[in-house]
Amino acid sequence: MRAIAFQTPGPADTALIEIDMPRPEPTGRDLLVEVRAISVNPVDVKVRAAARPEPGHPRVLGYDAAGVVTGVGRDVRDFAVGDEVYYAGALERPGSNAEFQLVDERIVGRKPRSLDFAQAAAIPLTAITAWEALDDRLRVMRPVPGAARAILIVGGAGGVGSIAIQLAKLRGLTVIATASRPETREWCKMMGADHVVDHREDLPAQVAALNLGQPAFVFSTTHTDRHLAAIAEIIAPQGRFVLIDDPAALDINPFKRKSVSVHWEFMFTRSMFQTEDIRAQGELLTQVAGLLDEGRLRTTMTENLGRIDLVNLKKAHVRIETAQSIGKTVLAGF
């Protein structure tokens, strides 16, 4: 089968290569999925730029995917051949940049009926990240005494920010998103943000001017180290803060005086450690599919670059690296 991989870390233009590899066979709880569409995430770029696969064993990247089940392992209970599915995969297994992929059924959801494969592929990784951040880390349904029932989302126009805005609104929160360009500000409004502030300007002053009070929650998706002092000033005493990026260093001492709890969200934790609640990710994706089919959520796909091939995948990686993308970029069909 065809796949796109890398053997040596480096820029997308030189590192990504097309390879041919055997079609895998499902065992245990594995589904064999014929990949119909993928999307590209910052994790693809980070791994490609830094990881070093074993010599002679190119690594296939790709996490988000939507496709059709073509085979099942003997222990599979919840899916059958012919089912349309979507998922975000696992870090330690070959990825979705291939015609066929093995994935544990417990982290797979049924594809939204109302979306095509490309629209569906934009959703899984970011939806899992945002859902876990809001519910498992920030516990947004548990109020913070005296705080505004509001959330500041730093980086509202990115893939995670776009779905986090929508999910936060469904949970009854007032959403303050950050964006600095006219097009990203407009996108945040389209996703449902109540207010949009500019992260290149004085964030505490802008949030204070909204007269909402201090927000109970802050969700930082990017450049956390740049905004940490502002976040510590903005967040309410006893508030909750979650981040998903990878600062080289993070001094959380400024949060001590307010007793702010600090959380990291990493959506691969459940699959990486085979946690007891690993099935929660598949269940979560099926719930998200229902919300999409009901029209209560919308896909965050903004661009379909065309077929899943070497040229288009290189373009997608470059778009992610510029950090100027809005929503999600997808590819569909081999």
Q: Provide the residue-wise pLDDT of the chain in tens; the chain has 334 residues.
A: 999 999 999 999 999 999 999 999 999 999 999 999 999 999 999 999 889 999 999 999 999 999 999 999 999 999 999 999 999 999 999 999 999 999 999 999 999 999 999 999 999 999 999 999 999 999 999 999 999 999 999 999 999 999 999 999 999 999 999 999 999 999 999 999 999 999 999 999 999 999 999 999 999 999 999 999 999 999 999 999 999 999 999 999 999 999 999 999 999 999 999 999 999 999 999 999 999 999 999 999 999 999 999 999 999 999 888 766 799 999 999 8
The per-residue pLDDT for 225 is: 95
Under a CB-based contact definition with an 8 Å cutoff, are residues 314 and 12 in contact? yes
**Interior CA angle at 164 toward 331 and 329, to 5°?**
15
Under a CB-based contact definition with an 8 Å cutoff, are residues 51 and 9 in contact? yes
Q: Which among 164, 100, 157, 171 has a CA at the least distance from the CA of 129?
A: 164
The answer for residues whose C-beta is within 8 angstroms of residue 290's C-beta and 6 or more apart is 112
154 Cα distance to chain centroid: 14
The answer for residues whose C-beta is within 8 angstroms of residue 273's C-beta and 6 or more apart is none
Quickly count: other Cβ atoms within 10 Å of residue 130's Cβ.
28
Q: Kindly calculate the radius of gyration of the chain based on its CA atoms and give it in whole angstroms.
A: 20
For residue 60, the one-letter residue type is V
Q: Give the chain as a 3 state SS string.
A: CEEEEECCCCCHHHHEEEEECCCCCCCCCEEEEEEEEEECCHHHHHHHHHCCCCCCCCEECCCCEEEEEEEECCCCCCCCCCCEEEECCCCCCCCCCECEEEEEHHHEEECCCCCCHHHHHCCHHHHHHHHHHHHHHCCCCCCCCCCEEEEEEECCCCHHHHHHHHHHHHCCCEEEEECCCHHHHHHHHHHCCCEEECCCCCHHHHHHHCCCCCEEEEEECCCHHHHHHHHHHHCCCCCEEEECCCCCCCCCHHHHHHCCEEEECCCCHHHHHCCCCCHHHHHHHHHHHHHHHCCCCCCCEEEECCCCCHHHHHHHHHHHHHCCCCCEEEEECC
CA distances from 71 to 48, 100, 101, 120, 200 (A): 29, 10, 10, 21, 50
| Residue 104 to residue 125: CA distance in whole angstroms | 15
| Residue 7 to residue 10: CA distance in whole angstroms | 9
The structure tokens listed for 211 are 């007269």
The per-residue pLDDT for 303 is: 92
The per-residue pLDDT for 163 is: 97
| Residue 40 to residue 122: CA distance in whole angstroms | 8
Under a CB-based contact definition with an 8 Å cutoff, are residues 194 and 153 in contact? no
Query: Pairing mode, if any, of strands 301-304 and 195-197?
Result: unpaired
